[in-house]
């Protein structure tokens, strides 16, 4: 997930290798079409800022959640939107938390509920993040109740299912992330933890209608792995073989998990998108114009993917990938 600490960030987490479906990572086009679909890619950027767009979620009607503006410089705040099909510049609908300076729309369901986080500043660094949920056009704050917040505050909701159950994370004073869920109907909060070790840093990034949660956590070895926590309590570690980190950012009702993984470190590091299923394991997938700079952030029940990449000009572009046939 792309969780920003000092500036308003993007929703994302790290994924590691799968315990349910072991096996080599397939590269795009290397496996049979019966196993992995062929995708058609479409770049989608809001004209308010062609230099920076991130698409973070997609529902079954094809409505996309995202934002423009990097938030990393004064005067370039994050501004949230939803994009309605059929896609075009006239189909972007602004969505920003009332009175906010910055907003990201990070997730949505099929009932019109959206979630995200907002900030009251655009300093480029050190901007606080506050969670929100929008039900029926009514925005509500949804920060996890704790007396141990980081300074500045970091609290983000990143996904929501059709039961109006949202998930996200908050950061404590020591810099550790804590996953949680928020019921938008009842206002109830619950912690989301690794049943094997509740003390690890963990973020909950997406949730499907069964209550299966995808996210990322810090292992005992200090690496970032992704996970799928099923509604029955099974914790499945997800780590791409050979990756220095893995992030699980989205999950649909078939338990298809999507995200990004990193190969290498420092200036030579590359980010690649992936999909993972219990049946077939990992499949590496990059936007064709963003080889080594791709993040897949959301997936719907039709297998459509949304995310972002960095193009040859250094711009961050949103994309939609649709299975062909």
Say which CATH number the domain at 126 has.
2.120.10.30
- 13 within domain boundaries: no
Give the pLDDT score at 26.
62
- 21 within domain boundaries: no
In 3-state terms, the chain is what percent helix, strand and coil (to 5)?
0, 45, 50
Given a contact cutoff of 8 angstroms between Cβ atoms, the answer to whether 198 and 185 are in contact is no
Give the pLDDT score at 13.
34
Query: What is the domain range of residue 261?
Result: 39-323
- 12 within domain boundaries: no
Give the pLDDT score at 36.
85
- 293 within domain boundaries: yes
- 97 within domain boundaries: yes
Domain count, the chain: 1
The verdict on pTM exceeding 0.85 is: yes
Residue 121 reports pLDDT greater than 60: yes
Assign 283 a pLDDT band (cuts: 50, 70, 90): very high
- 24 within domain boundaries: no
- Could you give the CA distance from residue 250 to residue 38 in angstroms, rounded to a whole number? 19
- Could you give the CA distance from residue 253 to residue 251 in angstroms, rounded to a whole number? 7
Find the mean pLDDT for residues 147-158: 97
Place of tokens 């655009």: 122
- 31 within domain boundaries: no
pLDDT digits (tens, 9 = 90+) for 21-31: 323 466 544 44
Both tokens assigned to 324: 């062909």
- 247 within domain boundaries: yes
Give the pLDDT score at 200.
80
pLDDT digits (tens, 9 = 90+) for 287-305: 999 999 999 999 999 999 9
């Amino acid at each position: 997930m792309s969780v920003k600490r000092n500036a308003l960030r993007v929703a994302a987490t790290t994924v590691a290798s799968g315990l349910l479906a072991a096996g080599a990572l397939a590269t795009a086009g290397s496996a049979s079409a019966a196993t992995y679909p062929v995708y058609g890619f479409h770049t989608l950027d809001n004209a308010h800022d062609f230099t920076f767009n991130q698409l973070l979620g997609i529902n079954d009607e094809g409505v996309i959640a995202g934002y423009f503006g990097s938030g990393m410089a004064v005067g370039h705040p994050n501004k949230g939107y939803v994009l309605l099909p059929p896609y075009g510049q006239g189909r972007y609908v602004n969505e920003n938390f009332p009175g906010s300076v910055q907003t990201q729309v990070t997730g949505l369901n099929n009932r019109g509920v959206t979630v995200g986080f907002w900030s009251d500043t655009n300093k480029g660094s050190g901007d606080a993040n506050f969670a929100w949920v929008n039900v029926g056009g009514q925005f509500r704050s949804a920060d996890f109740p704790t007396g141990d917040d980081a300074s500045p505050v970091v609290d983000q909701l990143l996904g929501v299912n059709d039961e109006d159950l949202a998930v996200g994370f908050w950061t404590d004073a020591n810099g550790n992330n804590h996953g949680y869920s928020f019921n938008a109907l009842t206002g109830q909060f619950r912690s989301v933890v690794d049943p094997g070790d509740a003390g690890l840093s963990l973020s909950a990034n997406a949730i499907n209608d069964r209550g299966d949660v995808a996210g990322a956590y810090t292992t005992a070895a200090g690496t970032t792995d992704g996970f799928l926590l099923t509604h029955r309590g099974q914790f499945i570690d997800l780590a791409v073989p050979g990756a220095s980190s893995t992030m699980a950012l989205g999950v649909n009702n078939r338990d298809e998990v999507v995200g990004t993984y990193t190969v290498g470190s420092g200036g030579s590091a590359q980010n690649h998108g992936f999909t993972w299923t219990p049946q077939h394991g990992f499949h590496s997938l990059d936007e064709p114009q963003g080889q080594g700079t791709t993040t897949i952030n959301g997936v719907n029940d039709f297998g459509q993917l949304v995310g972002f990449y960095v193009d040859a000009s250094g711009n961050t572009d949103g994309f939609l990938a649709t299975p062909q046939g």
